Amino acid sequence: TFDCSSRSETLLFAFQLPGTVWLLCCVSASPCPASPSQGKRSSVSQLPVVEMAGVSEDSVLEGELTCSVCLELFQDPHLLACGHSFCLRCLEGVRKKAQGSRFRCPECRETHRCSGSFQKNYKLANIAEDYRRRGCPAREPPPPVPCDFCPPGKQVAAAKTCLKCEVSMCAEHVKPHLERPAFREHPLTEPLGDVKERKCPEHDEAFRYYCADDGVCVCTACTVEGRHAGHTIKTLKNAMKDLKQDRLQPQLQRAVRKLAQTEKELQKHSKHEGAAQRFVEEAEQQVGVLGEQLQEQLDGFLSALRECVRAHSGTGPELQENLSRISQDRERLQEAHSGIETLLQENDPFRFLQEYHTAAKRLSSSLKMRLCVPDWPTVEREELRESMEARVEEFESELRLTTNDIISSVCAENDEEEAEEDEEDEDFEEDSEASDDDEDDEDDGDEYDDNEDEEEETTSEEEVPLRVRKIRF
């Protein structure tokens, strides 16, 4: 009992609904001159309605993705040694304003060298970019729930729903629940349109628990009799909490990791495509030098050289096919990432469990699929050399020296760069395989796998990781 006659305050307390379900509630207590013996709640607006304590998940996420210097969403975030991330332009501005050879972290004030380089926070950049691209649209408000007591055709929107009476009432018809002592123990909530769906059809009782063995919502009677007796039973709130923590959070982390791997593949694709294009440009430049020297006599030879260079440069449809496969992986993982975030934003346990079992198998299948590791095409150097030399032989002997110099310049290889790229490919393949093995181990140890075990889909992209081959210069 709280004396609210002299002050206004917000009270945090716990109460127990039937079925041993404890709720943490927030009640706003306003100055009330009426005595406790009156036992009335004068209006809907003055009713100390019980609501779940919490904050908007979108606002929390946006706060985590906001740079503390410019107070905007991260743009190209980079990481300091102390662990805090800021926009690159913000860090550059802080470093320029620093006096001496060291500057302080805007967050924790730890000092760092001005001469040091900043490491990009790829994961944070990907999450911020995805958040910015999606715009995090607010959920559409649910349709109004009609009052169950209003006559047909004249129904108005309900103001409250009584969980015990299982009816929704407008502001006029809810007055007895507010004023009469007989209804004082009836829990009132915001209007609910699916009250009947929350009842057990067999025992005509409200769903209060979740059977982890069968993956369904059950009532109190189901837990002591019938096919759910002896099963692992949890409250709806605890079941939602466990599924979010044990399943969706790890899957979200896996999606982030695999998205990062996909971004690396796209960066590699851009690197190889640019290298191939540079090869073509350099070859054409050398051929142009040769054309200036030979003038009109070499028009046909120059045309043949250009055809050889393009035919053996590795810029054909194989690169576009690799881009298509990598893009498909990214789209699939982005869809899984968005689906998991949508489930994590759901706060209604009943709707969450319905949506979870609809999407769980699809999300699990999407995340189990191995990423495509393309087989990068190589420049067919030997064939290019033979083709060019065959055409050189058609010219007179005095031109051979000039043409051989051009060919050697076009087809020269950089052995040191080739060795470094091979080492990078091996490290990336080892990291990718180790990550997939760790994720498979996580799936084997989850307590909800009994409801979701499916044979992993096998496709030509998943069975055997493709060996990466580079274009060398």
Residues 223, 91: Cα–Cα separation, whole Å: 58
Q: In the predicted model, is pLDDT for residue 314 greater than 50?
A: yes
The rounded distance, in Å, linking the Cα atoms of 447 and 100 is 56
DSSP 66: B
- What local confidence, expressed as pLDDT, does residue 44 receive? 38
Lowest mean pLDDT across 62-71, 189-198, 458-467? 458-467
> What strand order describes the sheet that includes 9-17?
9-17, 21-29, 51-52
Helix-strand-coil split of the chain, %, nearest 5? 50, 10, 40
Q: Both tokens of residue 386?
A: 């033979």
Q: What pLDDT shows up at residue 432?
A: 60
How much is the pTM? 0.39
**Average pLDDT score over residue span 396-418:** 69
Residue 372 is predicted with a pLDDT of 77
> Which letter, b or e, does each residue of 341-372 get, where b requires 16 or more Cβ atoms within 10 Å of its Cβ?
bebbebeebbebbeebeebbeebbebbbbbbb
DSSP code, position 5: S
Among 3-7, 287-291, 322-326, 447-451, where is mean pLDDT lowest? 3-7
Give the number of C-alpha atoms closer than 13 A to the C-alpha of residue 372, restricted to the C-beta side: 23
pLDDT above 80 (res 207): yes
Residue 173: Cβ within 10 Å count: 18
The larger pLDDT score, comparing residue 15 to residue 226, is at 226
Please give the pLDDT value at position 427: 59
From first CA to last CA, the distance across the chain in angstroms is: 82
* pLDDT tens, residue by residue, 153-179: 888 898 888 877 888 999 899 999 988
Spacing of C-alpha 343 from chain mean position = 11
How would you classify the pairing of strands 216-218 and 85-87? unpaired
User: Which range is most confident: 82-91, 103-112, 137-146, 374-383?
Assistant: 82-91
DSSP string, 299-353: HHHHHHHHHHHHHTSS-SHHHHHHHHHHHHHHHHHHHHHHHHHHHHH---HHHHH
Q: d(Cα 167, Cα 181) in Å, to the nearest integer?
A: 18
* Average pLDDT over every residue of 125-146: 75
CA distance 206 to 196: 8
Q: What is the DSSP string of 170-210?
A: -TTTTHHHHH-GGGTTS-EES--S-TGGGB-TTT--B--EE
- Mind listing the domains of the chain with CATH numbers? 9-54+143-189 (4.10.830), 69-134 (3.30.40.10), 196-231 (3.30.160), 238-451 (no CATH)
**Is the confidence at residue 150, as pLDDT, over 90?**
yes
Percentage of residues of the chain with pLDDT beyond 70 = 69
- DSSP conformation letters of 426-444: HHHHHHHHHHHHHHHHHHH
Determine the pLDDT at residue 283: 84
d(CA 125, CA 87): 10
Tokens of 105: 């972290």
Distance CA 73, CA 77 (A): 9
Q: What are the tens digits of pLDDT across the range 225-262?
A: 888 888 999 998 899 999 988 988 898 889 889 989 99
pLDDT-derived band at 350 (thresholds 50, 70, 90) equals confident
In the three-class reduction of DSSP (H, G, I as helix; E, B as strand; rest coil), residue 94 is classed as helix
Count the neighbouring beta carbons within 10 Å of the beta carbon of residue 161: 21
Higher pLDDT, 55 or 143: 143
As given in the structure block, the two tokens for residue 194 are 């699916």
- 3-class DSSP state of 376: coil
Average pLDDT of the chain to the nearest whole number: 73
Q: What is the pLDDT of residue 230?
A: 87
Tokens linked to 175: 């007055």
* Residue 390 phi, psi dihedral angles, 5° rounding: -65, -35
Task: Tell me the C-alpha to C-alpha distance, in Å, between residue 324 and each of 114, 130, 259, 262, 329.
Answer: 42, 20, 15, 12, 9
